[in-house]
Structure 1
Amino acid sequence: MANNLFISYDLMAPGQHYDRVTEAIKALGDWAKVHYSLFYVSTSYTSQQAAEHVWKSMDANDKLCVIDAANAHWFNLPNDVSQYMQNHWRR
């Protein structure tokens, strides 16, 4: 069963490794970039497993939040992101 995860992060100075973090997120499964530091991922990983996976690519002073969501509602997102989430949303 797929999990609907939202992954949010803040990379703090020094050592902001955006490419490394986004590649770790994308490796979890089907994904869409919702905002600059917020991703939606449809994955078989639990929120804890996903957080541990992404955290390995981050520095100790960075911030990470992974949320497993059953329902979501949004307004004014780019059409491609909105459509992608609708197509991949699983309960």
Structure 2
Amino acid sequence: MAYNLFVAYDLMSPGQSYDLVRDRIKSLGKYHQFQYSLFYVHTQYSPTEAFNFVSAVMDANDKLAVIDASQGMVSTWDRPPIDEINSIWHMP
């Protein structure tokens, strides 16, 4: 089963392994990075599996949210690739 997930994080001091966390999120599947620490991912991982997978490379004091977004649409702002994002969102 495929999932549409939003993944957001805050990395707290000390540590802050941004590249490691972003690479882990990107490896979940097709993705779009909306903001520095907000990603949309189309993945085979359930929300719980994705949470555990990403949090495994985070420090105990970091913050992570994985949100199941089974339906939705994205409108224009700062010129994101709308058609590409929406086509990924509606993949089986």
Q: Which runs of 5+ in 2 are unaligned?
A: none
Q: Which runs of 5+ in 1 are unaligned?
A: none
Aligned residues: 90
> Which one-letter code corresponds to 1:20 in the other structure?
L
Q: Does 1:66 align with 2:66?
A: yes
| Structure 1 SS opposite 2:87 | helix
Q: Does 1:18 align with 2:46?
A: no
Q: Percent identity?
A: 46
* CA deviations over 1:2-61 (Å, ceiling 9, x no partner): 100000000001100000000100111001101111000000100000000000110000
Length-normalised TM-score, structure 1: 0.90
CA distance in 1: counterparts of 2:12 and 2:84, whole angstroms: 29
What aligned pairs does 1:1-91 form with structure 2 within 5 A after superposition? 1-75=1-75, 76-80=77-81, 82-90=82-90
1:78 deviation in Å? 2.7
CA distance in 2: counterparts of 1:3 and 1:77, whole angstroms: 25
CA distance in 2: counterparts of 1:29 and 1:49, whole angstroms: 13
> Which one-letter code corresponds to 2:79 in the other structure?
P
Structure number with higher relative contact order (C-alpha < 8 Å, ≥ 6 residues apart): 1
